[in-house]
A = this chain, B = another copy of it.
């Protein structure tokens, strides 16, 4: 039986801010296992695992909202793997789209810098000029990701 941790101990253990844990509780992501008569929150190792799950899923690019759903799925794990898989696939697509946007952004910046270094430095700056023109079409470049 693992010792139950206070909020401060849990925070230190997992490496998050105390306030963050309370914030997750407000978001219904992580409830304390129990409370002392004084009201102090106590967390067991299951809660600890859950908090780590949240942090890991976040590191994988999931938002807290998505994590909430994931945690819901996790409860009854039968045949739910497909759901999780689908979400992970969607997330991957999303990440890949963002990757493409950033790559085109990097290319644009690089070519701008090329021009800039080639051109006369005190003259009209090519970067500013480029940004004044409407060259960077809003079509496939850099669109704002929407979940």
- On A, residues with C-beta under 8 Å from B are 15, 49, 52-53, 55-57, 59-61, 70, 73-74, 77-82, 84-85, 88-89, 91-92, 95-96, 98-99, 102-103, 105-106, 108-110, 112-113, 116-117, 121-128, 130-136, 138, 141-142
9 cross-chain pairs, A with B, having the tightest CB-CB distances, nearest first: A81-B125, A59-B141, A92-B109, A56-B131, A56-B136, A59-B142, A59-B136, A85-B116, A95-B106
Q: Are B59 and A138 in contact (CB under 8 A)?
A: yes
Tell me which of B60, B82, B84, B127 contacts A84 (CB under 8 A): B127
From A85, which residue of chain B is reached at the shortest CB distance? Answer: B116
Kindly report how many copies of this chain are found in the complex they form together.
2
